[in-house]
A and B are shown apart, each in its own frame.
Chain A
Amino acid sequence: MIFWRGENKVLNYRPDEVIVEIGSEESPILRNLRRALPDVPFTLVEHPKSFLSALQASRDPFGKGKRRLLLMRHKGDFLKKCPGSDGQVCCNYFVINFASNCPMECSYCYLQDYLAQNPALKVFSNVGDLLEEAHKLLSRHRRFFFRIGTGEITDSLALDPYIGISEEIVPFFAEQPNALLELKTKSDCVEGLLRLDPKGRVVVSWSMNPPKVIDDDEHLTASFDERLVAARRCQEAGYRLGFHFDPMIEYPGWEEDYQGMIERIFALVDHQRVAWISMGVLRQTSSLKRIMRQRFPSTRLLSGEQVLCPDGKMRYFQPLRVRMYRKVLRWIREASPTVFVYLCMESKEVWKQVFGFSPSCERELGNQMAHH
């Protein structure tokens, strides 16, 4: 069971130790870490094996894994196609994994299950390889337009004040004619971005929920207001914005909270510079639910009226979630009639019930988003 000290700010995170695998000494990430964390001990190891096995043997490997930061070379591919979810409409998205795990603690986070066997908080030191791989892919397929995100198995910006990853990758993507980079976050760590020129090629997006949901279930993340102020600052610095209303949570009073949230967002940001908004309800696999029961036994997210869907994920039963999507869509349209809105990990049937149509193929949806 996890206990919170009532503090909700991501920048309060500091690793207890940085473990550096041999071979990472020349990395710009290590240089940035040393500069940003002068009081934190750094340990050079030949192989982090003993650290990893001790972590796996602990009572809460996923939570404990966040306490130390492991800097190591990534040996596989950095760029992957987003796996989406079986049988659901997909948006043809690519992901770059520059890190694994995240310093925040959302009770519903799927990484608790996805990274159960690999829970260490890792940052990959060979950024040069990452950029080379991206360059090869983008230059080989110049006629194809890529949307690429870094927030699949980590938060895109939460560690940025320490590792400075945005300074490494934003200038590269700013020069690519056939790619749009999306940095997805629940933090307000945007200082590093404000010094850079995205040249229209970078979308900074926030996962947004009403303050009640953030307080109850998005521990160690930035508050709603902090996220919104950070979004405004990014917009002023030339970035396009994205908002992900995902996971949407249903509870008594959710309508007022979500409507208020949408009104507050569009009162502060220019809707014409919002690249896209996604909607998706809370999703859980049965194994994630088991983990949530152990780690967050009092979260009310466990008691929603969710049913098992064909892709193995539990969602609010269809008439209920379709009704939620329609309402949220209506509030978005009242604030911004033209912003691009899509559903994340939903079936064609749900798309039709919400929008009256469904994309004919994943490329169609991806293209619409890229060129909106």
Chain B
Amino acid sequence: MMDQAIHEYGREKVFQKQTLDRWLKLPEPDREALLELARGLRIGENHFRDFLDWLEEISLRDGASLSQILKGKSIALIWSDSRLGRNDKLKRIKEELRRLRFPRLVRLEGEIQKKIRQMGSGPQIQMTVVPGLEGGALTVQLRATSHEELQRLLAVLRQLSERTEMKEIFDLLAGREQGAELSA
């Protein structure tokens, strides 16, 4: 019965056979939990594959089943939040799964974002790092509408560059984190 429902869902969303086979090979509670998730969020194949990859990898690392992970508190809270629409739920659940899959990376990205916010550079000076932190770079973008404004922003940027937070951001990007937070 459930396998038939999975086949139907796969047909409706035009899943490739390989993806369906992976799904159908899972233990029954995991198949069922994924079906509930897929139906509830109307997930297409690309998102579904990301979910499946991450869930399997978390499961391998933590020794929990896919259904246990999906029924965990953090995901269950998003799932049951009636204020969230389908798109927000999908986005939030995906973010939460990414956090579970890459805990140290997400924590480090969060640390860097926090330091950027602490510097309060204002809307005309944007500081960003790429998701995944590859390249080890902080991108700084200035938005000026006059020469005077540009000079003022450069002066602000110069002051920001002296801030402890700025130095700490580059330390974090270069793996020079204080403490043992990056250790396995």
Kindly state the separation between the CA atoms of A309 and B133 in the bound complex, as whole angstroms: 10
Interface residues of B in 14-45 (CB under 8 A from A): none
Question: Pick the contact of A353 from B60, B102, B104, B136 — CB < 8 Å?
Answer: B136
A244 to B98, CA, bound (A): 32
Closest A residue to B105 using CB positions: A317
Residues of B within 8 A of A293 (CB): 56
The answer to whether A64 has its CB under 8 Å from any CB of chain B is no
Chain A binding surface SS class: helix
Interface pair A308/B132, CB less than 8 Å apart: yes
Q: Is B162 an interface residue (CB 8 A)?
A: no
* Residue A252, interface by CB 8 Å: yes
Q: Which residue of A has the minimal Cβ distance to B170?
A: A353
Q: Check if B132 sits within 8 Å of A319, measured CB to CB.
A: no
9 chain-A/chain-B pairs, Cβ below 8 angstroms: A255-B183, A300-B60, A305-B103, A305-B105, A317-B134, A319-B136, A320-B104, A322-B174, A323-B177
Give the bracket for the number of chain A residues in contact with chain B: 20 to 34
Residue of B nearest to A249 (CB): B184
Question: Are B184 and A254 within 8 A (Cβ)?
Answer: yes
Please list the residues of chain B having a beta carbon within 8 angstroms of any beta carbon in chain A.
56-58, 60-61, 101-105, 108, 132-137, 172-177, 182-184
- A172–B183 Cα gap in the complex (Å)? 47
A residues with a Cβ closer than 8 A to B are 250-255, 293, 298, 300, 302-303, 305, 307-310, 317-323, 326, 347, 349-350, 353
**Chain B residue contacts of A320, Cβ below 8 A:** 104-105, 175, 182
Closest 3 CB pairs between A and B? Answer: A323-B175, A307-B132, A322-B175
Chain A residues closer than 8 Å to B104, beta-carbon distance: 305, 317, 320
Inter-chain contacts of B101 with A (CB < 8 A): 305
Given A349-B137, A350-B136, decide whether A319 and B184 contact each other with a Cβ distance below 8 A.
Answer: no
Q: Write out the residue numbers on chain B whose beta carbons fall within 8 Å of the beta carbon of A310.
A: 134-135
Q: A322-B174, A353-B174, A353-B175 are in contact. Are A317 and B61 (CB under 8 A)?
A: no
CB distance from B130 to the nearest CB of A (A): 9
For A310, give the chain B residue with the smallest CB separation.
B134
Q: Are A323 and B182 in contact (CB under 8 A)?
A: yes
- Would A253 and B60 count as touching, CB distance under 8 A? no
Q: How far is the CB of A297 from chain B (nearest CB, A)?
A: 8
Q: Which residues of A contact B135 (CB under 8 A)?
A: 310, 318, 347, 349
Q: Given the known A-B contacts A253-B184, A317-B105, A319-B174, are A349 and B136 also in contact in the complex, defined by CB atoms under 8 Å?
A: yes
Give Cα distance in the complex from A318 to B102, angstroms.
13
